[in-house]
Structure 1
Amino acid sequence: MVEVIPKQIKDVWDTWNIRGMIILSLSLQTILIFFAPLRKRTPNKFLIMLLWSSYLLADLSANFAVALIAKNQGKDPKPDDPPEDKKLVALWAPFLLLHLGGPDTITAFSIEDSALWNRHFLGLVFQALAGVYVVVLSLPNVLWLVIELLFVAGTLKYLERTIALYLASSDKYRNLMLQESNSGFDYTEQADNLDMESILASEMYMKEEHRGAPKPLNLMHPDKELTDFQILQFAFLFFNNFTSLMVNNIFSLELRDKSKAFFSALQLQEEALCIIEAELDFIYEGLYTKGAVLHSSLGVALRITSLVSLLSAFTIYHYRHNKMQEFRKADIVITYTLFLVGIALEVISFLMLMLSDWTTATLSKLKDDSHEMPSLKDRLLEWVLGLKRKWKGQIGREEEVFNTPFLLRRWAGNITVFNFLTYSMNADTERIHNSRGGTCQLLWKIALYPFSYVFSIMQTWSGSIAIWSCDLRRYIIHHVIIPPPGENQVARSKYIFKTFVEFWFNVPYFFAIPVTSVINYLGIRDLFHEIRLERSVHHEPLTKNLWSFIFSELKIRSQILDNLESTTTKASARRDWASSHTQIQIAGQEKLLRYITDVDYDQSLLIWHIATELCYQEDDSAKENCDQHQYQMNREISKIISDYMMYLLILQPKLMSDVAGIGNMRFRDTLAEAKRFFKKMDIGNTRDVKLASKKILLVDTSIEPSDVKGNHCKSVLFEASSVAKELLKLDKGCEKDKWAVLSKVWLEFLFHAASHCDGTARLELVSKGGEFINFVWLLMAHFGLGD
């Protein structure tokens, strides 16, 4: 009796474990299908963590549930069990194979998952064998036809995922470009008999040989504004022809010239942003979803067969009689839940597929003549896209920012920024632009007001207690412990009292020492540093002025590059990280030019970032005879790009690995020197960035800071102060104001980083809300710029 009770408890536990894992697996599939599309729209850490944990647990829970089902099939039935109950449990095994196929919205969480497509294929084989083993143990089974149909659906679903991972792997992209060479006729044989007849024969032969090759890129030059449907079609065309960019390969000069001519002829600069936005969305769909499979003839056949099998299995099961007598009611409910939720998810996936941009772009071919009347199908597709456009937020007329509702975005739509001085002073970040509407902003402030009020009270109290404690300690030391001159006290009593006071004032440090020791022992000090850095970033919306400024500058540089006479000159123009075009902008300013041409990229970036912030904190405006609007626009552009490049350098080290150097070390040394300086000036607790900027600018930098500190410290704080002082001197005339110079310098930083950033990290960021540097990189590629 003692041995039977634990065995019964264990059997019940295993049975409920199976049901729990089945429900968990179904829940994870639901989470992935609804939340996975959101990760291309936002870099929210909580969303990424939810998807990461769900993505990993989805495979683990399904595999574990199959193992439990196999274990349960080998047990002897209990007297109170229905006679056919294990037959129904065996039906759940192919359902788990269906879950392992994953939703259409996510096949890979990262680029590395696609590289392991062969492991997923091996997993398909083993999971199919495990399912077959479960079914064999349950034979003879009255539900064998239902199980067989579900096996077909599950296997095809898993096969879709494996093919999608294979198509998204970098090896596949390289293999697509390495086509078998074919030079047609032998030159040595044909050169002697060169005549018109042989030339025509050669052309006919080449046409026959390349009949199956992709159609060459044929782009019309837009002579009017593009419609939403045309933008989508052009984006899809560029996506198919510039696939080599995804694996850091080059493309042909013919493609480059056609792309350059097309983007140069665009009527609106915003159209280029929309095309690149859609193109990056196609890249995301191809790398991280089943888009490449489902939009092929093979994928359509697999999906139709899978869906028909699932519906047929449900129909047969639903119309089976005597279910209530053969199986447990709880198991019947779970099976119906698996069927109905599974069918509902398939229907939702089908609707998402039909409404996707990929489907819309492939339903109609791009017309060669822009003046050709659109067909009925084109007008219908344009109307569907128009429905989406009606829900799009218009560009703010006052702030001129691109503002699209969250569910209609193809990327995050903002620029993440980080400021060194704000971080070093623990100050609150101030936004330049706010993409939220007035009503939304008011509601948000009302919702957060209780929390901010309580936090402000706690902050005020803690600051007052700290000041009171410091004053009390100073009073006790100077008026109690240290006796006035001529006053005689007992030395021993004074020593005991002093030790007692010092002990209580150092109690917080006693608690801090073990915590610091544990952090250092676990090696997570850098993690806490990164968390603090993350709390100091904020987002600025992409402004229309910023995009137009970047687009115009790249267009000019593309034209300048075309006008260069020799390829040697072109190569030399790209040799240094700062182009000759930017160096000309600040010619005659030797001190400024030296911090571009004679220092490393990361060192120069940090110097110019701090110098830009020092200038930005100064209360200045354009002269009366200068263009005030242009002056303020250059000021805002310089500030945004400066803070954005600082964010990339410090918080995106993988992306900037090719150009960062030892930027993180320089950042920490500069931060340490800044904190020492603020403490010395007694402004460390003021959290006033403007005051800190004035104090830094007051420091005498007539002697080169590098000559004073040598190579012992990599801080660039006072080199930045020297650059800022030189920039402030430029406002004497209107021909060359400091913000015009700074805007050009920061564009150079941005362009160099965009053309040299790591390709794998760049594609990783597409699945994390996107990154603005991807837009700059792709626009440079279409203009034929970059390395």
Structure 2
Amino acid sequence: MLVWSSYLLADWSANFAVGLISKNQGKGSKPGDPPQDKKLMALWAPFLLLHLGGPDTITAFALEDNALWLRHVFGLVFQAIAGVYVVLQSIPNSLLLIIILVFASGTIKYLERTTALYSASLDKFRDSMVQAPDPGPNYAKLMEEYKAKKEARLPTKIILIDEPDKESRPKKLVHPSKAVTDEIKESMHQSKSGETKKVVREALHDLEIVQYAYKFFNTFKGLVVNLIFSFRERDESLEIFENLSDPEEALRIIEIELGFLYDALFTKVAVLHTAIGCVSRVVASGTLVAAFVLFHKKPHKGREFHGADVVVTYTLFIVGLALDLISIILFLFSDWTCAALSSLKDDPEESLSSPLDKAFNWLLSLRQLRWKPQECHKDAHECTHKCKKPCPKETVDKCSKDLHHEVLTTPFFLRRWCGSINVFNFLAFATKAKVERIHDARGSFRKNSWKVFAYPFEKINLVIQKLSGWMAKLINVVHKLISFEINETSRKHPWARRTIHPLYFGFLSQIPHFIKFVWDKLSDFFDISDMLDMVYKTLFVHGEPMTKELWVFMFNQLKYKSKFGDSPENAKRISLARGEWTLRDNLPEEADRERLVRYVTDFDYDQSLLMWHIATELCYQQKETVSKDHRYDHCSHREYSKIISDYMMYLLIMQPGLMSEVAGIGKIRFRDTLAEADKFFHRRHIEDKRSVKIATETILDVNSEIDPMGVKGDRSKSVLFEASRLAKELMKLEEKHGISKWKILSKVWVELLCYAACHCDSTAHVEQLSRGGELINFIWLLMAHFGLTDQFQINKGDARAKLIIGK
């Protein structure tokens, strides 16, 4: 809110200040004022132009600001005219040279900002990536030669020769439309364990990570404007990502790549890292330093100018120079500089051959991802061993220590994104329960400080709800008492029936209804209720730190799917899957997998999302028994399912802009399901328990053999008991066939996340970068790197036609 307000008020405040300075220049001097004081104030006008150029780290607050670049051009012109007018009013002025130098620096800074906005506008951004027109092979010339040979009665034919790149493309497996056959699965295992082994790259240096990120940024920035990519770009990216030695390298490449994308669209960085940009920055900084030196060395400042005005002028200079110094430091030590002044080497051994590359590598190593092993929360995993006797305390303590994951804990000033995943749980919100984090890398101080901050809002909301309920009951009771008395009086006295009775029932008793009507209209007009509801929901949102194991799991899932996306059609089929691909791939036919598949295919995406989320929570709250050997793997998949499930619910409810393409009537389904849950909890007298575990047990106790839709109809969009049926199906699957429901659930959730990522509008992805970025942005780009998007549609290159003459 502070940055947004400052961004909007900057232009207005500058115009207001220039107007005040101009007005002051036209007034006569007051008695006792220094003789040259107004001359000094004329120096402040170009300073406002200087600071309107803004810091290098923000030129646009939203993408719409880039589209308004022409408005900033007019702002620059009129601001410059106003500054020149103020200066002309002060002539003759002994500070004229200083004013001209500051004016030149401010104009250059404002031009940099305007140029950055212009180049980042989507139309210009698209034009910068469009290649020169390609007329293709000379068809007319070839046909003329063909016609001439034919008329000469020579045996002539035309053959087409595919491009060498097309012929050498690796062959991929094609996933069947309904099921993965045993033959394909067997060939997959043979390819993994056969004689031909894939060569895995060695670990990439920090500089190579940035170089690859810069290379892919220049390739995939076309995703923002929906450009079409060719198979060459897909295969090049796929080959590199498939051969990475560690999935963490993919995470680092993508986070830097998203950083480049953010810089190109919201900052001056892309403009400054050009030859003209570097020259303009040197000139702007040089003129500002020269102006400061001249002002500082000017004699008799104390006699010519007011002391307070001299302090203000020094402050303006110091702040301007400090911002310039910070900009230069950020410029020299940015990822852009490291990528622009170095290049990828064909031989990995030569990657750090020069002293400059070694210096860049050391600098970038300071911003490596930092991971910290951390135990899972004691309430997050209630798995027990398959032992005949209870385990001794030492064994339990040892096993709990084994249940840890590596969480992302990069220091604040060194990280490139927040490194956490916001989650929101439906049943926790419905029961108003407090949910502990699975991992908490923030420490007890920050954790308790957030509780202290949120406590007043929780209490205020509780008080408002109780007061509104009490007021409604009080008004109802008072109305009944007054109505009874008036009716009794009206029966006894005719004058009361003619006066008091119509006055009360026709006017006074309608006042509460009128107040409620006015409040509802105002609330709908200003969206007050939705705003308050969103603020209240925010109290149930918390961040789970990214774990290395979760990223590796998602990376491997997409890497596996990329083996089947050899053509645009197959890649599109995979990206359109929202659970059915995983279910048919991982469940045998004897498990009656179609019973689970229908919970995906027979429902809309938002309906399916809410249903699988509630079912996941119902399963998560159940106490399970698992062998010691499979404990870690079991609990890890259980954790993946929980985190991604709650994250998808957070996106659906709290980030509607990211889910607008797939959300449908998700808000209505959420409200209807919440209303049914509130009604159900009230009837079972557990609305005040504030326990998700009790709520899940109560829901699962309901007999749901008959389809709820067949009983309730489809007027209500609630999916509460459809989710209960799904949870029971998953539990039954594990009991009958020994298939881990958590492995199935975790893979289904990755597929649901991928479906949302690739169907989210590209501009919504970029807009989210200005707010810190989300996990869905990483998945969106990772899918593009693996070729799992419908924007890889150019499957054939230019076929080379050859004219053959002969028998």
Deviation at 1:189, TM superposition (A): 2.4
Amino acid at match of 1:666: R
Quote the residue 1:676 is aligned against.
679
**Contact 2:606–2:664 at 8 Å: present in 1 too?**
yes
Q: Which runs of 5+ in 1 are unaligned?
A: 1-48, 196-219, 482-491, 493-507
Quote the residue 2:584 is aligned against.
583
Change (3 A) 1:93 1:286: same
**Contact 2:366–2:414 at 8 Å: present in 1 too?**
no
Taking the TM superposition and a 5 Å limit, the aligned residue runs for 1:11-410 are 49-183=1-135, 186-189=138-141, 223-372=201-350, 374-389=353-368, 392=370, 394=372, 396=374, 398-410=404-416
Measure the CA separation in 2 of the matches of 1:180 and 1:104: 31
**Contact 2:583–2:593 at 8 Å: present in 1 too?**
no
**Contact 1:154–1:306 at 8 Å: present in 2 too?**
yes
1:557 corresponds, among 555, 561, 573, to 561
Report the RMSD for the aligned CA atoms in angstroms. 3.3
Measure the CA separation in 2 of the matches of 1:92 and 1:434: 50
Amino acid at match of 2:693: K
Change (3 A) 1:434 1:418: same
**Contact 1:107–1:288 at 8 Å: present in 2 too?**
yes
Matching of residue 767 in structure 1 with residue 770 in structure 2: yes
Stretch of structure 1 that moved more, 509-518 or 717-726? 509-518
2:349 aligned counterpart, secondary structure:
coil
Taking the TM superposition and a 5 Å limit, the aligned residue runs for 1:651-690 are 651-690=654-693
Quote the residue 1:420 is aligned against.
426
Quote the residue 1:593 is aligned against.
597
**Contact 1:394–1:403 at 8 Å: present in 2 too?**
yes
Quote the residue 1:605 is aligned against.
609
**Contact 1:656–1:753 at 8 Å: present in 2 too?**
yes
Encode CA deviations 1:13-52: one digit per residue, 9 max, x unaligned: xxxxxxxxxxxxxxxxxxxxxxxxxxxxxxxxxxxx1111
Matching of residue 632 in structure 1 with residue 611 in structure 2: no
Measure the CA separation in 1 of the matches of 2:731 and 2:453: 41
**Contact 2:572–2:789 at 8 Å: present in 1 too?**
no
Measure the CA separation in 1 of the matches of 2:446 and 2:658: 33
2:422 aligned counterpart, secondary structure:
strand
Deviation at 1:338, TM superposition (A): 0.9
1:642 aligned counterpart, secondary structure:
helix
Deviation at 1:254, TM superposition (A): 0.6
Encode CA deviations 1:119-176: one digit per residue, 9 max, x unaligned: 1111111111111111111112221111111111010000000111112111112102
Quote the residue 1:27 is aligned against.
none
Deviation at 1:80, TM superposition (A): 2.8
Change (3 A) 1:332 1:255: same
Quote the residue 1:31 is aligned against.
none
Total equivalences in the alignment: 672
Measure the CA separation in 1 of the matches of 2:222 and 2:456: 54
**Contact 1:432–1:540 at 8 Å: present in 2 too?**
yes
Amino acid at match of 2:7: Y
2:320 aligned counterpart, secondary structure:
helix
Measure the CA separation in 1 of the matches of 2:714 and 2:345: 63
Measure the CA separation in 2 of the matches of 1:72 and 1:454: 48
Amino acid at match of 1:418: F
Deviation at 1:79, TM superposition (A): 3.2
Measure the CA separation in 1 of the matches of 2:683 and 2:725: 20
Encode CA deviations 1:331-363: one digit per residue, 9 max, x unaligned: 111111111221122112111211212112222
**Contact 1:429–1:538 at 8 Å: present in 2 too?**
no
Quote the residue 1:435 is aligned against.
441
1:609 aligned counterpart, secondary structure:
helix
Encode CA deviations 1:418-454: one digit per residue, 9 max, x unaligned: 1100000011122111123xxx32x446768988999
**Contact 2:234–2:787 at 8 Å: present in 1 too?**
yes
Measure the CA separation in 2 of the matches of 1:294 and 1:381: 19
Matching of residue 541 in structure 1 with residue 521 in structure 2: no
Change (3 A) 1:454 1:786: closer
Quote the residue 1:731 is aligned against.
734
Change (3 A) 1:233 1:567: closer
Deviation at 1:182, TM superposition (A): 3.8
Measure the CA separation in 2 of the matches of 1:543 and 1:89: 56
Encode CA deviations 1:688-727: one digit per residue, 9 max, x unaligned: 1111111111111122100111122111111111111111
Quote the residue 1:713 is aligned against.
716
1:293 aligned counterpart, secondary structure:
helix
**Contact 1:585–1:744 at 8 Å: present in 2 too?**
no
Change (3 A) 1:124 1:221: farther
Change (3 A) 1:124 1:295: same
Quote the residue 1:621 is aligned against.
625
Encode CA deviations 1:93-122: one digit per residue, 9 max, x unaligned: 100000111111111111111111111111
**Contact 1:222–1:262 at 8 Å: present in 2 too?**
no
Quote the residue 1:782 is aligned against.
785
**Contact 1:395–1:403 at 8 Å: present in 2 too?**
no
Measure the CA separation in 2 of the matches of 1:227 and 1:103: 31
Deviation at 1:632, TM superposition (A): 1.2
Measure the CA separation in 1 of the matches of 2:778 and 2:454: 36
Stretch of structure 1 that moved more, 377-386 or 684-693? 377-386
Deviation at 1:681, TM superposition (A): 0.4
1:106 aligned counterpart, secondary structure:
coil
1:763 aligned counterpart, secondary structure:
helix
Measure the CA separation in 1 of the matches of 2:703 and 2:23: 79
Deviation at 1:395, TM superposition (A): 5.3
Amino acid at match of 1:400: E
When normalised by structure 1's length, the TM-score is 0.80
Deviation at 1:368, TM superposition (A): 1.5
Change (3 A) 1:597 1:462: closer
Encode CA deviations 1:70-91: one digit per residue, 9 max, x unaligned: 1222222223322222111111
**Contact 2:76–2:110 at 8 Å: present in 1 too?**
yes
Measure the CA separation in 2 of the matches of 1:670 and 1:179: 51
Deviation at 1:605, TM superposition (A): 0.6
Deviation at 1:628, TM superposition (A): 2.3
Amino acid at match of 2:358: R
Amino acid at match of 1:140: P
Deviation at 1:518, TM superposition (A): 5.8
Stretch of structure 1 that moved more, 736-745 or 152-161? 736-745
Deviation at 1:540, TM superposition (A): 0.6
**Contact 1:582–1:748 at 8 Å: present in 2 too?**
no
Amino acid at match of 1:772: L
**Contact 1:173–1:243 at 8 Å: present in 2 too?**
no
**Contact 2:586–2:744 at 8 Å: present in 1 too?**
yes
Measure the CA separation in 1 of the matches of 2:129 and 2:20: 46
Q: Which has the higher contact order (CA 8 A, sep 6+)?
A: 2
**Contact 2:423–2:541 at 8 Å: present in 1 too?**
yes
1:539 aligned counterpart, secondary structure:
strand
Deviation at 1:232, TM superposition (A): 1.1
Encode CA deviations 1:467-513: one digit per residue, 9 max, x unaligned: xx99xx9xx9xxxx9xxxxxxxxxx9xxxxxxxxxxxxxxx999999
